[in-house]
Amino acid sequence: MLKLFFSLFAGTLVLTTNAQDTISRDSAFIRSIYEEVLTNGECFENLRVLCKDIGNRLAGSENADKAIVWGKQTLEKYPLSEVSLMPVEVPHWVRGKQEVGYFSFMPDSIQVVAITALGGSVGTNGILTSNIVEVKSFAELKELGREKVEGKIVFFNKAMDAMLINTGAAYGGAYEIRGSGPSEAARYGAVGCIIRSLTLAEDKYAHTGGTIYNDSLPRIPAAALSSVDARALSQALKQHPNLTFSFDMNCEAFPRKMQANVIGEIKGSVYPDQYIIVGGHLDSWDIGEGAHDDGTGIVQSIEVLRAMSALGYKPRYSIRAVLFINEEFGNDGGETYARYAKENGITHVAAIESDGGGFTPRGFGMEGTDGQFALLESWAPFFDDYNLHQFRRGHSGVDIRPLKDDRVALFGLIVDNQRYFDYHHSNNDRFENVNKRELEMGAASMAALVYLLDQSGIPVLP
C-alpha cells in the first residue's frame, strides 16, 4: 500500500520538492481542513435553518421553492466565484390531508394503524375497505393468483434483513416491494396495497418513498404501515383471516412544473473549464424534515466550498457544490445536470455525493477505472487519522450517476449507517437526530477528497 501511495502520488504532481515533502504538505493541508470544519463549521447551523425554518421539501412543493431560494442565499453568504440556478422540470404530487388507516375484526371496534401514502400513489376516493391477503414476496403473490387476490388489499409484509451489516444492502433487498409492489398487486386484481415500512426499527413511524406504477396496469392506492403495526396486523390476520382493512388518502398528482438545481462555484486557476463537484439532493420526502435525507448532504456540500474558501485555497480545477432537485421521485436534477454537461461539452473530472445520512464517515465508494481506484486506495493513509477505512468500488450517488462516462471518477461518501433507516423517509427524519460532529466529520472528509482530486486531477490511468 505504502509503495503505491508514494509512486502514484508522486506521478500525478509537478514536483518541485520530493515526494515526501509533498505528502507532508498534503497531510498538513488535510489536517487544516478538519480543524477548520470542526471549529468554525457552519453546516450544522445551516441544517437547522433548512430543517426548522423550511422543513420537508418534496420536489414540486412550495417548500422546495423556498429551499431553492435558501440554497442560493446560503451559497451567496460565502465568497464564491458564482452562484446560479439551473432550471429542472419536476413532478408535482400532493399528499393532501393526513392519511388514516385501521383494521377491524369485530363490529363497532377498530384498531388504528400508522400509515403513509407511498409517493406517487393515487388516492382512495373516500374510505377504501376490503379484506386483506398477506404475502412476503412477488412469488407468493403469483402463487395465490387472481382467484385469491381479486377485490382485496394486498399486504406485503417483508422486513428488511437485520442480519445484513450494511443496512443499505438490507434496504436494497426489500426495495422492489415498494417500487413495484402496488402494480404487481394490481396485476392480480387487488384494489389496494399496503407494505411494511422499509426500516430496521420496531416503532410506530411509517416510512414513505416512491412507487412506480406500471402503465399497463390499474393504478391502485398504496401506503406503508409502521413496523409495529405490520406485526400487529399480521398477528390479527392469523386469528381473523376475514378481517377488513380500511384506509383513506386523498393524494393527487398535478402537472409537472419547473424548479431548479442550485450551483455554487469556486473558479479553477489552471483548468477553469473542468469541474470537480460535490453534491446532495435538496428535495426530501414530504414528512419529517428531510434532515439525514438529504439535508446533511446539502449542507456538507456547501461546507466544502465554505471551508476551502475560508482556508484561502485556490483550486486548480473549478469546484462546484450542486444542490440537486428531485432525487427522490425521478432523479430529474441529476439527469438534467448531466444532460446539460454533455450537450455543452463540459468536462467533469470527479464528483462526490453525500446521500447516506450525516453520520460518522467511514470512507468512500467509487465508480471509475482501475487506475483511478488504485489512486483512491493510495490515499487511504491520508484518512487514517480520521478513522476512514473503507475504500471500495461500488455505488456513488443517484444524483451524480448520470455523469458516468470514460473520464469522470464518481465517489459516494460511506457513513456509519446502522441507524439511517430508523429515520429515512419518515416523520422521524429530524434535525434533532443529526449530530454536529458526525456531520462535520463527513463534510471535512469530502473536502479532503476534493483537495486530493484537485491536486492530482485523478487522471484516467492505464
Residues that bind a copy of itself (CB under 8 A): 34-35, 38-39, 162-163, 165, 167, 200-202, 360, 362, 385-387, 389-390, 416, 418-419, 422, 435-438, 441
What's the closest the beta carbon of residue 438 comes to a copy of itself, in angstroms?
Answer: 5
Relative to beta strand 347-353, strand 271-281 is parallel
For residue 400, the tally of other CB atoms under 10 A from its CB is 28
3-state secondary structure of 156: strand
What's the closest the beta carbon of residue 350 comes to a copy of itself, in angstroms?
Answer: 25
Are 324 and 282 spatial neighbours (Cβ–Cβ below 8 Å)?
Answer: yes
What's the closest the beta carbon of residue 359 comes to a copy of itself, in angstroms?
Answer: 9
What's the closest the beta carbon of residue 45 comes to a copy of itself, in angstroms?
Answer: 10
Q: Which is nearer to a copy of itself, 51 or 441 (CB)?
A: 441
Phi, psi of 95 (to 5 degrees): -65, -35
Q: Which is nearer to a copy of itself, 25 or 437 (CB)?
A: 437
Q: Which is nearer to a copy of itself, 30 or 83 (CB)?
A: 30
Q: Which is nearer to a copy of itself, 101 or 442 (CB)?
A: 442
Are 279 and 322 spatial neighbours (Cβ–Cβ below 8 Å)?
Answer: yes
Are 160 and 421 spatial neighbours (Cβ–Cβ below 8 Å)?
Answer: yes
Scanning the structure block, which residue is given the C-alpha cell 456513488?
396
What's the closest the beta carbon of residue 33 comes to a copy of itself, in angstroms?
Answer: 11
Q: Which is nearer to a copy of itself, 51 or 194 (CB)?
A: 51
Q: Which is nearer to a copy of itself, 227 or 318 (CB)?
A: 227
By 3-state DSSP, what share of the chain in percent is helix, strand and coil, each rounded to 5? 40, 25, 35
What's the closest the beta carbon of residue 416 comes to a copy of itself, in angstroms?
Answer: 5
Cα–Cα distance, 83 to 81 (Å, whole number): 7
3-state secondary structure of 326: coil
Q: Which is nearer to a copy of itself, 1 or 139 (CB)?
A: 1
Contacts of 397 (CB under 8 A, 6+ apart): 279, 280, 351, 352, 353, 354, 355, 410, 412
Cα–Cα distance, 35 to 29 (Å, whole number): 10
